[in-house]
Amino acid sequence: MSYRSPSEPDFPGRIGRFLADSEPHWPAAPTAKGAPNVVLVVLDDTGFAHLGCYGSTIETPNIDRLAAEGLRYSGFHTTALCSSSRACLLTGRNHHAVGVRAVSNMDTGFPNTRGAISPAAATVAEVLRDGGFATCAVGKWHLAPMAEATAAGPFRNWPLQKGFDRFYGFLQGETDQFHPELTCDNHFIDQPKTPQEGYHVSEDLVDRSIDWIRDQVSLVPERPFFLYLAFGAMHAPHQAPKAFREKYRGRFDAGWDAARDAWFARQKAMGVVPADTELAPRNPGVKPWNELSDKEQRFACRLQEAFAAMLDHTDQQIGRLVSFLQEIGVYDDTLFVLVSDNGASQEGGQLGTMDEMKHFNMMPEDLDAAMARLDDIGGPDSHSNIPWGWAQAGNTPLKWYKQNTHGGGVRDPLIVRWPGGVKDPGAIRTQFCHAIDIAPTILEVAGLAAPETFAGVPQIPVHGVSLRASFADPKAPVSRSVQYFEMLGHRGLWQDGWKAVTHHTSGVPFDKDDWELYHLDADFSESRDLAAEQPGRLKALVEAWWSEAEANGALPLDERGMAELFRASRRPGLPTSRRRFVYYPPVSHIVSDASPSVFRGWRMTVELDHVAGGDGALVSRGSLNSGFVLYVKNGRLAFDYNAFHDHTLVTAPSPLAPGGRRVELSVDRQPDASGKVTLAVDGETVATGTIPLMLMIISSLGMDIGRSPRPVSDDIVTPFVYPGRIRKVTFDLPQAPPELERRSREAELAAALSRQ
């Protein structure tokens, strides 16, 4: 007689009463034996021309080596923003269809803008993991709604729930490279060493990647691995070790016009662009270099030097990873893919910025102040971004930038190295392709197929197609005839070598947008608008755009302004919908999107058991570039509000007495945007002060209680752990006047977009 197993009712062996009457059976384990390892490297905000092998004079020898041993694609396209491009890369589907229209910070209540990948679109990591691969994500994630990115979750959109066995990196769209917000698997951690000890997050990410790969090939060499390595570079802040910054001193003194011309000439000589390509016209707002003042030129040069230093430093980290793969003998058994997620960023503004958050607080850059701090740029004391002129040079020969659906926003580098498939290393492929093609390519190389159902959920059909045939055949067709684009109202459609595109202006009705027409097969840089010559073709392409938009869930087009869009994302149940926050320390680090929004002022109560000599931070938010910290030093209570290195320090005159204390901090915003500060202990005011200007966006970095892991104030040394017991911290937020609410929402969304 044979018996059934409750856990395996279809057990193919035999279960008898006794072992002698039974036959064992082991289910076949998923195996990808013979499949290559896969490394997918994603750079942020890196324009078409920024890499040396795509034309620039910035030194990227390790990336250039990958290109020399593999392929460069000149027709690779993305979505123009970060979260959305990454959703395409990891799922093989168009971004609206999977719920990531723009940024993961937004959920406007429509299926195309959930800020997270739909369960109906399994990631390539999920498919590879179930097919026998080990999987690891390292670096930037930004595919979970940021209000969910707390120690309390929910974790459904974190990397470990999206197919990755391990995760080490940061959940936000940007981070300080010297003082990052780090997450390991499902919990927040401190950085392993200080900047003074040589810390930089790009080096840390590659260290962790190497450690993970070493474990895999040492312990389970039979199992191939998939490493998704997404650097914070080249997103602002542009920060690199001092030696790299000094290396580029003076290299860009000739200005962005000369660099753009030189890079364009290099592109033609390399064959990265066709010989008859025209250099796109100067973008609106970009002045000729010789029309800038001396101060503007010096500031712009130093910002570009920091960008170049960061890219060079990132290239060296990629070189370390490659060297390790060689050392352990798996380099030639690895499909190595490197992409950028969108074009060069326009968030630095016309002049560039010492601190990007200043730009998004709608504060003009003070060039005189910047001149006094030129040597800070690129180091821990700055949060810089390049001006439009240098971003346009990075997108050579294309027009517009990140966020836009013209070439400067969506045409990006793609490098593929795989000795097992590439037959003509160093060659260039010109086929039109898209971020949605990367996942199908990886799956075909791995010998796996995207499932029709995953975890019980019927799957959206994969929109991308595999590029594997193009590895060996330069003329291999990519089986796609059409690809739509939509980002923040900017729209475009490529079809059979032609492209219709429009640069949308907020406030202008969509049906009044001015559409342009380009024959991309003959006009690489979108320089010759044929709309007036071929109105019939343009009309057909615009109509096709509407069809593709409907089919891929890109509708409704959303004409609401920044304030309305962000307000629409503040649904009940999220931290941003609350006006009271109560914490019971110790609690984990709190990301900025889940921290109290203090632009309107706030009242904070800290209930603690103070000990004599108990110096330390009570509540700390932000970084040394902007933020605030309430702390005890030399026994005295103090509050420092840091507005881009302009500090307001309020200090009690006498020491805080030991014992149970109730500390209250009130910051009352005034009509002139100043802030009245009141410090009280046990109901009695002990100090007052005035913040000259309260920020709308205080920092992209979050909050800690009982410590300050990032140096917000010059008066403290990290981590400045408070030795007493903090029993409870309460934030109470007032209702903001409508105009202040509108300005804050605009600034917050602008800052969220900057973190793409």
Task: List residues with catalytic annotation.
Answer: 82, 142
Q: What residue has token string 């369960």?
A: 119
Question: Taking the CA atoms of the chain, what radius of gyration do you get in angstroms?
Answer: 27
Residue 327, burial from CB neighbour count under 10 angstroms (0-12, 13-18, 19+) = exposed
Say if CB 707 and CB 617 are below 8 A apart: yes
| Rounded-to-integer distance, Cα 541 and Cα 517, Å | 9
- Block residue for tokens 């919908």: 577
Tell me which DSSP letter residue 461 carries: P
3-class state of residue 79 by DSSP: coil
Separation between Cα atoms, residue 92 and residue 89, nearest integer Å: 6
Facing residues of 650 across strands?
639
Cis peptide before 477 (omega within 30 of 0): no
Query: If residue 170 lies in a helix (H) or strand (E), which one and from where to where?
Result: strand 166-170
Question: Closest Cα to residue 148, out of 594, 583, 570, 588?
Answer: 594
Contacts of 329 (CB under 8 A, 6+ apart): none
Residue 756 CA to residue 82 CA, distance in Å, equals: 5
Tokens of 706: 């009982």
Report residue 638 as tokens: 């103090």
- What one-character-per-residue DSSP string does 499-555 give? EEEE---TTS-GGG--EEEEETTT-TT--S--TTT-HHHHHHHHHHHHHHHHHTT-P
For 538-544, the CB contacts below 8 A with 24+ separation are: 538/500, 541/493, 541/495, 541/498, 541/499, 541/500, 541/517, 542/493, 542/500, 542/515, 544/482, 544/493, 544/495
Give CA–CA dist 189/170, Å, rounded: 10
Give the distance from CA 527 to its chain's centroid: 30
Three-state SS at 299? helix
Instruction: List Cβ<8 Å contacts ≥24 apart for 150-159.
Output: 150/575, 150/588, 150/590, 150/591, 150/594, 151/187, 151/188, 151/587, 151/588, 151/589, 151/590, 153/186, 155/186, 156/116, 157/116, 157/117, 158/186
Q: Contact, 647 vs 653, CB < 8 A? A: no
Check residue 722 and report its DSSP letter.
-
In the three-class reduction of DSSP (H, G, I as helix; E, B as strand; rest coil), residue 378 is classed as: coil
Q: Is 333 exposed, middle or buried (0-12, 13-18, 19+ CB in 10 A)?
A: middle
For residues 712 and 501, give the distance between their C-alpha atoms in angstroms, rounded to a whole number.
Answer: 44
- Is the CB of residue 426 less than 8 Å from the CB of residue 434? no
CA distance 309 to 58: 8
User: Which residues neighbour 257 within 8 Å (Cβ) at sequence distance 6 or greater?
Assistant: 288, 289, 290, 389
CB count in 10 Å sphere of residue 75: 18
